[in-house]
Chain A
Amino acid sequence: MVDNRLGQMWKFRLSPFVLLACLLIAASLQNFSQSFIGLPSTPVRNDTAAVNTDKNRAGTEVSLNQGASALLKVKCVRCHRGKSRSGGLALDTAAGLISGGDSGPAIDFTNPAESLILKRIADSESPMPPEGAGLTEYDIALLEEWVTSGATFPDHKHHWALQPLATASTEEGVSEIDTILAMARESRNIESRTVTPLAPRSRQILRAYIDLTGFPPTPQQLRKHLNNKKTEWYANLVDSLLKSDRFGERWAQLWLDQVRYADSDGFEKDLVRPDAWRFRKWVIDALNQNLPFDQFSLWQIAGDALPGTSLEHQVATGFLRCAPANREGGTDPEKNQFEQNIDRLDAIATVWLNISLKCARCHDHPYEPVSQVEYYELLAFFDNCENHTIMAPVRPAPDLEQRINAYRTSRKKLLQQWKLDVLIDAWESKLKYTSNHYGEDNGWDNQWLRLRIYIDNAKSILFRTRDERTIQEQDQFIGFFLRESDDVYPIDVHSEWQLPKALEAFDNLRSEFQFDQAMVVRTSEKRLRSRVRERGDFYRSAQEVAPDFPAVLTRSSRDTFLLDRRDLAGWLFEDCQCLTARVAVNRIWSVLFGRGFINDTADFGVLTPEPEMRALLDWCASELIRTGWDIKWLIRTIMISEAYRLDSTYDVTLARLDPSNQLHLRQKRVKLSGEELRDRILHVGGLLNDSGGYRSFFPPQPFGVDRLSINPNDYWQTTFGRDQWRRSLYIHRQRTSLFPFLELFGSPSGNEPCTARRQSISPLQSLAVLNDELTFESARAVAEAACSASKDDDVRLRLLWERLFCTIPTEREASLSSSFLQNQQLLLRRDPTAILAIARVPGDEEQAAWIMLARGLMNTDRFLRRE
C-alpha cells in the first residue's frame, strides 16, 4: 500500500469523468493551455484507480468541492462577504451563491455552464478577481468543474457522521457483524463461496496473540491452543488473552499515540519530563481493568473536578499535561499556557471526535463545524487549568509519610551543608523584589521571566514559605537555582559557591529517594478571563466568552455559567455520542483489520463521504453505547467474527471486486509497527524483560542521535543489562530526537495526536532490522535453543519455524534453508574470527550458520507482519 496516497493525489486527474470534464472545459475556454492537460501523470502505483472507477468519482467530488471552496475563500471572499459584500454578492455561504448579488444569481442550476460566476471569472476584459494574483487556468477549470457538478457547500447539519446511528433492532448479545457483511456482499452479487476461508488454526492463534498482547505465543502456548478440542476453543483463547496484563500494554500504545504522550517538553530545549511515565501507567491499568470508555475519558479530561477525587482520577489528567510546553527564553508564560490550552482542545477534537477545529482558531471556516467564537467558547473550558506535580505512588505505600519526612530532613541537611539555604533565601528575596519592580535590572528581569517560564505557578510558589510548598515545588526551586541562576550569578560565582557540586549531591539525593510523581492538572480558584483572539493571536483579544458548546454539535441548551470540564467530557458522550462512538469503533477496527471504515488520512468532517459499510460501523457503535462503552466487549465481538478470522491471502479477483476490502472478503497482512516488531524480536529470543518497572528507559542507540537537538542535558543515559530488553512501550520518547529504530518505522514524535501510524516500507527499515544488535542477540538465543534441542536439522528447522512463525516449514522453505546453511558454513569455515563474533564460541561454524539463518528469518516479510 506504499503509494496509495500518491494515487489519491493524482486520482482526480485520471478518472474518465474528470478527463471528460476537462475536454468539455477545454472546448469552452479559448486560452486553455497545454499545461493543464500535461499535468502530473502516471501514478507510480495505483491499484485502486485501475480497477474501480465508481469510487474514484466519489472521491473526486470531495476533492473538487474542497479545492473550489478553498479557492473562493482565498481569492473571492475578501470582498464578497459579510454586510459590506461587493456588488451585493456573498461567496462565503451557499445561500449567498444561490441568491446571488445585484447582477442576479451567481449559479444557474438549470444550465450550470451558463452560470454568472463562470462568465465573470473568464471575462476577457475585466475578469474577476480584479486584483491580486488572479485565477490561474487551473483555478478556472476547478471552479468550472465544481459548478457543473452541482456547486455544493459542506452541510454540517446533515453530515452522515453526526446523524443518529442507523441500526436495525437486533437481538441482544448476537453479533451482527457477519450478517451485515453477508447482506452487503449479496447486494453486490458476490457469492459467499468467493470469500476467503478461515485462516489455519495456528495463524488464528498467532494473530489473536499479536493483536491482544503484542507478542506471539510461546511454543507451549501455541500447542495448548492447537490441542484444545473444544468447539469454543477460539472464544476461549480470545477471552484468556483479554485477561492478560499485556493487553493493557499493547492497547495503551494506541491510546498514547493519540493523546501525544512523550517524555519531554517538545519545544527547543525539549526538557525531559521525568514524571510523564506515571500517566502511561495509568492508561495501562485503566485498559486492563476495562474502565468504561466514557469514564476513561471523563477522568482524563476532568479527573481533578470529580467529587471525592482519588489519586488515580488526578493522575488521569496527565492527558492534559501531554501538551508540548515552550520554555525558550522570551516566551510569555501566559501565552505558553494559552497555547497549551489550544493544544488540549485540538487534541480532544482529534482524539474523541476525529474532526479538526484548527482553522477556527483564526477564522470561521466552512469545513469546520464550529465558528471562531464557538472555538473560544470551547477553549474557555481550559481556562482554569493549573499545572502541578504531585506525589503518586504506584502501589499503596504505608511508609510514604515516613519517607517524605526522611527526604525533607536529608534535603535540609544538604542545603545547610552546601550553605545553599542562605544563598537561596537571598536569591528568593531579590526575586520577590524583582516581581514588583520589573524593568529595573535586566539581569534579574531575565531571571524572573525564566523562572516563570520553567516553573508553573512560580509566582504563587515564591510567595509561600518553604514549609507551605510541596516537596515538588521546593525541588523545582532548588533545581532552578542550581542550574539556571547564571543570569544573575555568573559562572565564576557558581563555582566559587560550589554550585555544580551541590547540584550533583542534590540530584543524587533525589534519585536515592525516587518518589513516584505525576504531572496533573488542577482546577485553579481564579479563572482567567476567556476571550476570542483575533486571527488566533494571543495578543489580540476581543470579546469575552464563557464555556459553551457549538451549535451544530449540541442537542440541548445548558446553563452557561455552571459549565466546567466535567460537562465537556459529558458533552462528548451525550451530545456527540454518535460521533464519539463511531470514531472509537473506527480506530479499533483499523487496528484489527489494517484499515478502518474511512481512509486513514481522512477525518470525520464534512469532506469525508459516507463509508460504504456505514451499517456495520453504526451497528458496532450502537452496541458499544448499549454495553456502557465496554471496550473489551467490542474488541472481543470483532475478534470472534468470521470476518476477523479469515485468511489473509491476497487474490486478484477479490481485489478487483472490492479494492479497499470494505466487504471483508479476506483479512489483511498488517505491517507491524516498530514497537511491535522490536517486541516480537525480543520475545522470540526469550530476551524480554517484564520486570523492569514502569519508568521510561533508554535502549542503546546509534552514536550522535541525541546531539542533533539542543537539549542541554545528557538525557540519553543508556540502559544496559537486561533492562535494555524491556517492552518498547517504555522507551523514552524525546520529542526532538526520536529513538532511530522506531523513527524509521514511523513512530510518532508525540508532538500532536497520531490517529493512525503511517505505513511505509523503506530500505532503511530493512537495514535496521538486519543490522541492529538486538536482532542478532535474539537470533543467537533462538538458534542456540534449536541446536541444543536436537542434532537433526529437520527438527531444528521445525523448532525455529514454530518459535518464529507458529507453523512448520514448507518443503520449499526447508530446502532453501538447508542450502543457505550449507553455504554459510562453507564461508564461515574460512573465517574463524567471524565464527567467534557470531557464535561467541570458537570453531563452531555450524552454530554460527544457524544464527545467521535465524537472523535471516527475522527479516522476512512474514516476520514483519501480522498475517
Chain B
Amino acid sequence: MQFQINRRRLLTASVALGGLGTAGTAWWLSQQADTEKVRKARHTREPHFQPRATNVIFLFMAGAPSQVDLFDHKPALVRHSGQMVSLKNESPLSTLEPTSYLWPTPYQFKRCGQSGAEISELLPHIQEIADELCIVRSMISETSNHHPGQQLFMTGVTQFGHPSIGAWLSYGLGSENEDMPGYIVLSSGQGTAAGANNWSSGFLPARHQGVPLRTTGEPIAYIHPPDGVSTRLQRETIEFITRLNSAEYDRCSDPDILDSIEAHERAFKMQLNAPELLDTSSESKAVLDAYGLNSRNEGFALNCLLARRLVESGVRFVQLNHSSWDAHTRICENHEEHCREIDRPIAALIRDLRERGMLEETLVIWGGEFGRTPTAEHRRKEDTRNTGRDHQARGFTVWMAGGGFKPGLVFGATNEIGLDVAEDPVHVHDLQATVLHCLGLDHQRFTYPHLGRDQKLTDTGGHVVSSLLS
C-alpha cells in the first residue's frame, strides 16, 4: 500500500517535472532504493505458509493416456485375458460398449531405479528417472467425458466458468516476472476438448488467463508491431501515450490511469523479451541433444525446453498441452507415437531442472483428465486389428516430480485387473489440494467471491495427501 503511493507520486512527479516519459521514469525509479520492493509488492503476493514450490510445469496429456500400458502394470490381466467383464459397474459409466473383454498390455514393464517403480518400455528415458517421480496410481475423476473431465482436472469443477489452476496461482501468488504473463500455455498435437476452458481465468480478472505462446509466427498474439513500426518508433509511441496519460491523470486524478501507464510499460518489455525467451540458440548442443532437439526444432520437445526457460525467467505456471491420447482405436499406434514424442524431452526436462538446482522449487505434474480401461474396445466389429481402450474415470495414473513431492514413491493401487481403485484413492480435488499446499496455499482458505459464494479450486472437496509429500 505504502509502496503503491510512493510509486504513484514518483510517476506523476517525474512526468510533471520534465516529461521524462516511460524510459526516464523507469530509469529514475531504478535509482530508488526500494524499487525492487515496489515491484515485488505489486506483482507477487504472500502465500499462506512457507511454500515448497514456487513454480509449476503442468504436462497435460489431454485425451487420457492409458495407465495400463504406461505406469500401472497388471500382470493378472494375462491370466484373465479375453474374459468378459461388465463395464456398467464402473461409475460413472462412460463407455459405448456395456461389456468387453480384458486385454493385457502388449508392452513389457520394468522395475526401475531404487524405488522399483514399474514403467512401460514405451517410456525408456522416463524409466531412467524413475527415482525422481512420485507416482499416484489411484486417481479418481468424477466423469469420463473429455470436456467435463478436463474441466474438473484443470479447474476443479465439471461445469463451465471456473478458473484453471494456473489462473488461480497467477491470482494467488502473482508473477515473479512482471514483463511476462504469469501463466503461459504451450500446445502440441491436435488441440484439446475443452479448448480455452483449460486455461481460462473463469470468474477471476481476465489478466490471469493463460496466454498461449506459439513457436511459429508471432509468439504471443498481437506482440508484433504492424509492418513499418520499428522498435524505436514503438518505444517513442509508448512514451507519447504515457505522457498523454500522465496529463490525463493530472486532469482527473483517476488512479486507474496509473494501471494503464504501467500496462504499457510492461507491454513494451514483453514485446522485447518474448522473442528472446523463445530463442533457443543460446542453449548448448548437449542440452539440445538431451531434449532431442537437434534434428527438428518443434513440438512437445521444444515446448519442454521453453518451459524450463520460462520458469527460469520467473513465469509462475507453464502448461504444456499434448494431445490427443484418446485412442479408442489403434491404441498401439497412438501411444507408441505419443510416447516417442514425450519420453525423451520429459526425462531431459527433469534432469535439466535437477542439474540447475531448480527441481526443488519447480513442481512438474504429468497426467491426463482420466485413464483408459483394461479392456479392449472395437469401434468396428470386423476390424480386430484396430483395438483401442475406452475411458476410465476410477483408477488412473498421474505423477509429480520436484516441488516438495516425495521422489521415488509409488502410491495407491488399482484392483487386480485394474478396473477400479483398490487402495488409497486420490480424487482430483485431493491432487489439487496437495499441489496448492506445495505452493504454500491452503485450498480451504484460498477463495474468491463469485455469485454470492466464496469459490475454491477444490470446490467442496479435497484433502491434502500428506503421504505424497517429502
Contacts and interface: CB of A to CB of B under 8 A. Distances in A.
A703 B205 contact: no
Interface in B308-332: 321, 323-324, 328
A358 B125 CA distance: 46
Nearest to B97: A442
A704 B217 contact: yes
Interface in A736-795: 736-738, 740-741, 743-746, 749, 751-752, 755, 758-768, 770-773, 776
A536 B114 CA distance: 46
A453 to B, nearest CB: 11
B247 A813 contact: yes
B344 interface: no
A827 interface: yes
Nearest to A768: B222
Contacts of B321: 708
Contact of A820 (B217, B236, B264): B236
Contacts, number: 340
Given A824-B236, A859-B241, A860-B241, A710 B451 contact: no
A418 interface: no
Given A8-B449, A45-B1, A708-B196, A35 B379 contact: no
The dominant DSSP class at the A interface is: loop
B296 interface: no
Given A608-B452, A669-B256, A834-B230, A766 B160 contact: no
Contacts of B192: 708-710
Interface string B116-144: 00000000000000000000000000001
B353 interface: no
B160 A9 contact: no
B203 A758 contact: yes
Contact of A44 (B4, B243, B379, B451): B4
B222 A442 contact: no
Contacts of A770: 222, 225, 234, 237-238, 267
Contact of B381 (A269, A443, A760): A443
Nearest to B204: A758
Contacts of B255: 47, 650
B237 A852 contact: yes
A136 B232 CA distance: 56
Given A5-B449, A443-B381, A860 B391 contact: no
Interface string B183-197: 000010011111111
B45 A710 contact: no
Interface residues of B, number: 116
Contact of A764 (B94, B207, B243, B390): B207
B196 A767 contact: no
A270 interface: yes
Contact of B254 (A74, A488, A599, A648): A648
Interface in B184-236: 187, 190-197, 200-201, 203-207, 209, 211-212, 214, 216-218, 220-230, 232-234, 236
Interface stretch (A282-290, A322-330, A471-479): A322-330
A603 to B, nearest CB: 4
B146 A328 contact: yes
B222 A42 contact: no
B352 interface: no
B452 A326 contact: no
A755 B381 CA distance: 49
A138 B205 contact: no
The dominant DSSP class at the B interface is: loop
B47 interface: yes
B226 A776 contact: yes
A767 B247 contact: no
Given A328-B193, A442-B381, A838 B256 contact: no
A547 interface: no
Interface string A469-501: 000000000000000000110100000000000
Contacts of A773: 226
Interface string B23-45: 00000000000000000011001
A603 B451 contact: yes
Interface in B86-107: 92-98
A838 B237 CA distance: 14
Contacts of B259: 2, 761
A398 interface: no
Most B CB atoms within 10 A — which of A50, A350, A442, A745?
A442
Given A703-B214, A703-B217, A824-B236, A738 B226 contact: no
A356 B147 contact: no
Contacts of A652: 253
Interface in A420-442: 439, 441-442
A571 B30 CA distance: 62
A761 B264 CA distance: 10
Given A710-B193, A856-B237, A446 B96 contact: yes
Contact of A328 (B145, B205, B217, B271): B145
A823 interface: yes
A9 B148 CA distance: 28
A562 interface: no
Given A761-B259, A857-B244, A442 B94 contact: no
Interface stretch (B285-293, B401-409, B410-418, B440-448): B440-448
A652 B5 CA distance: 12
Given A44-B4, A765-B263, A852-B237, A861 B160 contact: no
Given A5-B448, A330-B391, A599-B449, 14 more contacts: A43-B1, A330-B145, A602-B452, A649-B254, A707-B190, A710-B190, A762-B207, A771-B226, A827-B230, A827-B232, A838-B228, A856-B244, A861-B256, A862-B245
9 contacts: A5-B449, A42-B46, A439-B98, A608-B452, A702-B221, A710-B324, A736-B197, A764-B220, A859-B237
Leading 6 A-B pairs by shortest Cβ distance:
A736-B195, A837-B228, A709-B195, A751-B160, A760-B205, A746-B206
